[in-house]
A and B are shown apart, each in its own frame.
Chain A
Amino acid sequence: MNILNKNNRHASEPYLILEICNGNEKAYEELYFEYYYQLCRFAESITKCSELARDIVQEVFLNIWVKRKSWEVKHSLKAYLYQAVRNQALNMVEQQGARHGLSVRLKEEFDMQSKATAEEGDDPASKLPGLINQIWELVEEMPDQRKMVFVLHRKHGLSYLEISEVMGIARKTVENHMGKVFQELREKLDTRVYL
């Protein structure tokens, strides 16, 4: 079940989906572990909160299993999952205020260390860390849609078509966004230093 084709997709994806529809737990488990981390990271990029990100991924997978009999994936499984996570994230971010009143509330503090260190850059052998950070700092400032297109493409390896599916926009729009990102990055970065 682990044959990857040129686009890094499982050749056996249709098989996986079919099995899950039929209630094959092993297939479901495989799907979960295959996509867990990337979906969590993607969810976190929207919510800025890792706990919420995990909840979101949880909900998405729960729904898949509960509604497995009628589960349908039109084109790309990856696009389906990312779209589901995105929708769930946008919903949950709205709902965040409404939490049950419970006798024990747990409020956790983030490990700021990992975020602080990521800003420093830690590849001693090359100058690229500086560039990586600059790129993402600039991307962070960009409008939401444009940022998401770039993140989905570069960080999550989605194709233009998949991105258009996930975000519900035209493929041409995806292209335009990508174009604008590169344009801005090229203008604002001093790439010549690194070449």
Chain B
Amino acid sequence: MNHNLLIRYLTDESADNEQYEVERWLEADPEHRKLLEELELIWRTSGMNLEAVENDFDAEVDWKALRYRIEIEVNREKKKMKPDKVGKEYRQSGFAKRADFAQFMRVAAVMLIAAFAGIFAWLNFHVVGSEEELVMREIVMDKGQRANLVLSDGTNVNLNADSKISMPEVFQQDKREVFLLEGEAYFEVAGDPDWPFLIHSGGAVIRVLGTSFAVRAYPEDEMVRVVVNEGTVSLASGHDKSIGANLTAGQLGLFHIKNDTVISKEVEDMEQFLSWIDGYLIFKETSMKEVALQQERRYNVEVDFGKPSIEELFLTATLKGRSVTNVLNVIAASLEIDYYQTDRQTIVFTDHDEKAPTEFDRH
């Protein structure tokens, strides 16, 4: 029996007379049927879908981007043509909605930023503010995402997961202003004494001339935290500049949002605050509650505790793994606890003695 023929039979690619031939062969010997069953299993299984959800692909977003690009192409063609022809082509193309074009451009720009590099890079060339007012651009990091931005002045910004930053397309003459709406970012500000760099975050204002430091303002923190690696940074309340402190290298500043206070202190080890930039998670006597929170951000998973007492444990560990499984194993080994996954995205920490529910898969 020709192997290829058998496969063709299996995949429905064989002609009628060929099918007949195969069926006769199958009947000739039970072993033949066994062989087919093996192949059929492989064939069937390979067609099963275990792919992760299409996280990376968003048809709606890309469709809007495509329409925008088509618009650009249509306009480009327009310019090459004579005026009377232009009018006709333009009106014929349904994509051209003159009245909404400017608005669409801006909306498209904001939406696309969070999308993907190619179009984004291209877009940057073309969406130049021809208007007088400041065109703001927002960049959003979901859970599990991080990014590095280089701004037009040379400042480098590292954005952590679950963060949102907003800045003008073009910086103003007298100051460089960005808005860390929520989340965490590490700034390496290009030095320029005549051009101050201001970061607005959680009601605080951080003012820099040239230096490197991290700002953290997750909504659940209720605080804005600044950690300075190099240089000097001033951390002040947004509406009362007298409430503030100057932070130098190796110092940490906290702005308490509700109380409107700023405190500062020395920090022995910068590493734990900045490890996320390289993708590490460093914990020093950190409560499991906090560990869980950071894991959720970093890996976009949900972490629960089978036993509430585990939440109270403290973890000291350096987690370098990009694989969640590795990280979980390290944590489990360090604290002598166990864990299991209930589904693709949920992890539960539990005790050694406790058995995972039988209907779930045990790792």
Q: Which of A's residues lie within 8 Å of B, judged by CB?
A: 23, 25, 29, 32-33, 36-37, 40-41, 44, 50-55, 57-58, 61-62, 65-66, 99-100, 102-109, 111-118, 120-124, 128-129, 131-133, 135-136, 139, 150, 153-155, 159-160, 175-176, 178-179, 182-183, 185-186, 189, 191-192, 194-195
Contact = CB atoms under 8 A, between A and B. Distances in A.
B87 interface: no
Which 5 pairs between the two chains have the least Cβ-Cβ distance?
A114-B52, A50-B56, A55-B118, A103-B152, A124-B361
Interface in B268-317: 279, 299-301
A145 to B, nearest CB: 16
B54 interface: yes
A15 B115 CA distance: 33
Nearest to B116: A51
A118 B146 CA distance: 21
| Interface of A: prevailing SS | helix
A51 B8 contact: no
Contacts of B73: 62, 66
B45 A135 contact: yes
B149 interface: yes
Given A124-B360, A182-B39, 18 more contacts: A58-B62, A62-B69, A103-B124, A104-B152, A106-B117, A106-B148, A107-B147, A113-B324, A114-B52, A120-B341, A122-B361, A131-B45, A132-B50, A154-B43, A160-B8, A160-B13, A185-B42, A191-B42
Contacts of B15: none
B150 interface: yes
Contacts of A29: 63
Interface in B335-358: 341, 343-345
Q: Which of under 10, 10 to 19, 20 to 34, or 35 or more describes the interface residues of B?
A: 35 or more
B95 A25 contact: yes
Contact of A62 (B46, B66, B115, B361): B66
B46 A136 contact: yes
B100 interface: no
A18 to B, nearest CB: 17
B92 A23 contact: yes
Contacts of A40: 54, 56-57
| Interface of B: prevailing SS | mixed
A65 to B, nearest CB: 6
Contacts of A155: 47
Contact of B11 (A32, A50, A153, A183): A153
Interface of B: 3-4, 7-8, 11, 13, 37-39, 41-43, 45-48, 50-57, 59, 62-63, 65-66, 69-70, 73, 92-95, 115-122, 124-125, 139, 144-152, 279, 299-301, 322-325, 341, 343-345, 359-361, 363
Nearest to A171: B13
Residue in B46, B63, B125 with the greatest tally of chain A CB atoms within 10 Å:
B46
A179 B25 CA distance: 18
Contacts of B345: 113, 117
A124 B359 contact: yes
A36 B57 contact: yes
A25 B275 CA distance: 49
Contacts of B117: 51, 55, 106-108
25 contacts: A25-B95, A36-B63, A50-B57, A102-B124, A104-B150, A105-B150, A106-B117, A106-B121, A106-B147, A108-B116, A109-B146, A109-B279, A111-B55, A111-B300, A113-B324, A114-B53, A114-B55, A117-B341, A122-B344, A150-B46, A153-B11, A154-B46, A154-B47, A160-B11, A178-B7
A59 to B, nearest CB: 9
B150 A113 contact: no
Nearest to B144: A111
B144 A113 contact: yes
A97 to B, nearest CB: 14
Residue in B13, B122, B300 with the greatest tally of chain A CB atoms within 10 Å:
B13
Given A133-B50, A150-B46, A194-B41, A107 B145 contact: no
A41 B51 contact: yes
A133 B54 CA distance: 18
